[in-house]
């Protein structure tokens, strides 16, 4: 049973303000469970990473990310920046997408998540590293990164609808880049719509882009979509939502431990839905097997 003091890093802006609205429920659930905890709230970008690194260096055994994939992404980078830290990550999924929490089978219900934390089951999961940035769910270059950028401009919707609207907006003027892609030493050059380097199966709050991906198998699942026009993208979109695109002609699926992407064209890139670079030309992506400890996971 989990009895240690917990550091909770809460993003009040997560899920269009759900983080702030659900904070009292989280405090009540943790208190009712008899858990000792400290809560800190973020007020700016990358503050969660700074708080997580500080907590890990102070010796907290568990740091919880209360937010969406962006909050988890920052907390993970903070934990891993604290070299040799043994701090485990807990997740309270209160964001718009929460794709990594979905990959772990974590509930959105706060009381259920707290019950799982008390049981203290631990899982070691893989982490991706792109240049100098860590990620846990996915990295995308090309179309889906532009969708991530466009989704920031969608104000009135929530959840999966944010990303769906962003897809249609991105379709208006997407340019197809030419990229050199190397998977474990095997190189190819082609025009791409997107390349997704996935640790988890889902991205964008509901797109099942790598349905066979597992977070602890020591491999990336790579989804490579060759150059498609707008109509072809629209035809493929329902397949990606269902995860039935993997054997369709414009798509190639592969697995690798090391991925190198190079392009003369500027590539927009996201990691865990957060913008890594709006105009990258070289990405070296490697998997770090079992690098992160997650606590409070279901059987």
> Is a pLDDT exceeding 80 seen at residue 277?
yes
Per the structure block, which two tokens stand in for 246? 């993997």
Question: What pLDDT shows up at residue 139?
Answer: 97
Apex 112 CA angle, 108 and 117, nearest 5? 105
Q: What is this structure's pTM?
A: 0.93
The C-alpha atoms of residue 84 and residue 213 are separated, in whole angstroms, by 27
Tokens linked to 64: 């919880």
Backbone torsions φ then ψ of 279, nearest 5 degrees: -155, 60
pLDDT digits (tens, 9 = 90+) for 203-241: 988 889 999 999 999 999 999 999 988 888 888 888 999
pLDDT in tens, 57-77: 999 999 999 999 999 999 999
Instruction: Read off the pLDDT band of 174 (50, 70, 90).
Output: confident
How far does Cα 101 stand from its chain's mean position? 9
Mean pLDDT of 195-206: 93
Residue bearing the bigger pLDDT, 103 or 162: 103
In the block, residue with structure tokens 């609808």: 161
Residue 35 has pLDDT above 80, yes or no: yes
| pLDDT at site 124 | 97
DSSP string for the chain:
---S-EEEEE-TTHHHHHHHHHHHHHHHHHHHTT--EEEEE--STTHHHHHHHHHHHTT-SEEEEEESHHHHHHHHHHHHHSTT--PEEEEEE-SS--HHHHHHT--S-HHHHHHHHHHT-EEEEEEEEETTEEESSEEEEEHHHHHHHHHTT--S--THHHHHHHHHHHTTSPPPPEEEEEETTEEEEEEEEEEEEESSS-BTTTB-SSTT--TTSS-EEEEEEE---HHHHHHHHHHHHHT--TTSTTEEEEEESEEEEEEEEEEEEEETTEEEEEEEEEEEEEEEEEEEEEES---
254, pLDDT greater than 70: yes
Q: Which residues contact 256 (CB under 8 A, 6 or more apart)?
A: 183, 184, 219, 220, 222
pLDDT tens per residue, range 107-131: 999 999 999 999 999 999 999 999 9
- Place 96 in a pLDDT band, splitting at 50, 70 and 90: confident
pLDDT tops 90 at residue 249: no
Other C-beta atoms within 10 Å of 177: how many?
22
Strands 220-226 and 133-135: unpaired
The pLDDT score that the predictor gives to residue 84 is: 76
- Rounded mean pLDDT of 135-146? 92
Average pLDDT, the chain: 92
> What pLDDT sits at residue 155?
67
Residues 6 or more apart whose CB falls under 8 angstroms from that of 8 comprise 26, 30, 37, 38, 39, 40, 63, 64, 66, 92
Q: Are the beta carbons of 249 and 274 closer than 8 angstroms?
A: no
Percent of the chain whose pLDDT exceeds 90: 75
| Structural domains of the chain in order of their starting residue, each with its CATH number | 6-120 (3.40.50.10330), 135-289 (2.60.200.40)
Compute the average pLDDT of residues 31-42.
96
Q: What does each C-alpha distance from 190 to 175, 224, 262, 267, 285 come to in angstroms?
A: 14, 10, 11, 14, 19
Reply yes or no on whether the pLDDT at 165 is more than 90.
no
pLDDT score recorded for residue 154: 75
What is the pLDDT confidence band of residue 156, given thresholds at 50, 70 and 90?
A: low
Query: What's the pLDDT score for residue 208?
Result: 96
Please say if the pLDDT value at position 272 is more than 80. yes
């Amino acid at each position: 049973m989990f009895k240690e003091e917990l550091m909770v890093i809460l993003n009040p802006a997560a899920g269009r303000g759900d983080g702030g609205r659900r904070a009292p429920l989280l405090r009540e659930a943790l208190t009712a469970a008899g858990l000792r905890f400290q809560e800190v709230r973020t007020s700016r970008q990358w503050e969660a990473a700074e708080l997580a690194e500080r907590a890990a260096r102070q010796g907290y055994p568990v740091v919880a990310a209360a937010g969406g994939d962006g909050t988890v992404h920052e907390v993970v980078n903070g934990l891993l920046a604290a070299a040799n830290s043994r701090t485990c990550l807990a997740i309270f999924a209160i964001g718009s997408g929460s794709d990594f929490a979905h990959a772990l089978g974590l509930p959105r219900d706060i009381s259920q998540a707290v019950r799982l934390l008390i049981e203290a089951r631990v899982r070691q999961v893989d982490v991706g590293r792109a240049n100098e940035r860590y990620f846990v769910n996915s990295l995308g270059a090309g179309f889906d990164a532009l969708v991530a950028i466009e989704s920031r401009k969608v104000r009135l919707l929530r959840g999966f609808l944010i990303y769906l609207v962003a897809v249609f907006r991105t379709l208006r003027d997407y340019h197809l880049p030419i990229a050199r892609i190397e998977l474990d030493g095997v190189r190819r050059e082609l025009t791409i719509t997107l390349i997704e380097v996935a640790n988890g199966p889902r991205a964008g709050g509901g797109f099942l882009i790598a349905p066979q991906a597992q977070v602890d198998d020591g491999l990336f699942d790579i989804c490579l979509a060759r150059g498609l026009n707008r109509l072809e993208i629209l035809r493929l979109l329902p397949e990606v939502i269902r995860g039935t695109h993997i054997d369709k002609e414009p798509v190639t699926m592969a697995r690798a431990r090391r991925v190198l992407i190079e392009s003369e064209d500027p590539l927009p890139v996201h990691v865990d839905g957060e913008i890594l670079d709006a105009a990258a030309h070289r990405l070296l992506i490697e998997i770090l097997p079992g690098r992160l400890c997650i606590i409070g996971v279901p059987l």
